[in-house]
């Protein structure tokens, strides 16, 4: 039998034995609901300290770190149809979780590539932004939503190829929350 093959078989057997031992010793405990505690030295708990009554306050609201979400969504040429419709579903679910019970501000900006007239692109950019406004207004009060169109005036990349134009057919959503 070849020496290299024998060494490989021995290494595999050793690795298998170690993996089994590791699983049995450590990983199997992750599924338990109670932590495993060993070598605990018990010491008496310190006595609670009473604060003067005038320093106690009403239960203060929980403060959250601010959230800033900046997301872009790409559209098919000359339309308000998303290139990746599933992206919107995932986005809405995550936004619902992140902004729950918070004061939120949303800015929606529609963009186009340079194909078509300037007035047409301005209108198409606004239609794309309004598409998102209709989706977001169930999560955010309408007075906290700002919608505008940049048309073709603010490209992400130069409009010198079809691939670049595809990147410019977008809506940018900026969602911010207060502390």
Please provide the DSSP assignment of 43-67 as one string: -PPPPPPPPPGGG--PPPPPP----
* pLDDT reading at 167 higher than 50: yes
Contact 146, 108 (CB under 8 A): yes
> For residue 146, what are its two tokens?
């700002």
Of 76-85, 99-108, 156-165, highest mean pLDDT: 156-165
Output the pTM of the full model.
0.61
The mean pLDDT of the chain is 74
DSSP 82: B
Residue 133: count of CB within 10 angstroms of its CB: 20
Name the band, by pLDDT with cuts 50, 70 and 90, for residue 37.
very low
Q: What are the distances in angstroms from CA 54 to CA 50, 62, 158? A: 12, 21, 64
As given in the structure block, the two tokens for residue 53 are 């009554």
């Amino acid at each position: 039998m070849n020496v290299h093959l024998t060494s490989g078989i021995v290494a595999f057997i050793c690795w298998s034995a170690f993996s089994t031992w590791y699983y049995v010793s450590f990983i199997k405990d992750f599924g338990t609901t109670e932590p495993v505690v060993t070598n605990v030295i018990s010491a008496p708990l310190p006595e609670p300290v009473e604060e003067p009554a005038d320093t106690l306050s009403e239960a203060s609201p929980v403060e959250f770190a601010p959230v800033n979400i900046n997301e872009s969504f790409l559209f098919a040429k000359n339309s308000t149809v998303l290139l990746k419709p599933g992206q919107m579903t995932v986005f809405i679910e995550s936004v619902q979780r992140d902004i729950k019970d918070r004061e939120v501000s949303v800015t929606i900006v529609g963009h186009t590539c340079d194909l078509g007239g300037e007035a047409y692109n301005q209108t198409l950019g606004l239609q794309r932004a309004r598409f998102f406004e209709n989706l977001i207004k169930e999560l955010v009060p309408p007075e906290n939503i700002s919608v505008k169109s940049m048309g073709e005036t603010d490209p992400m990349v130069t409009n010198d190829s079809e691939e670049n134009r595809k990147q410019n057919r977008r809506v940018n959503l900026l969602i911010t929350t207060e502390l």
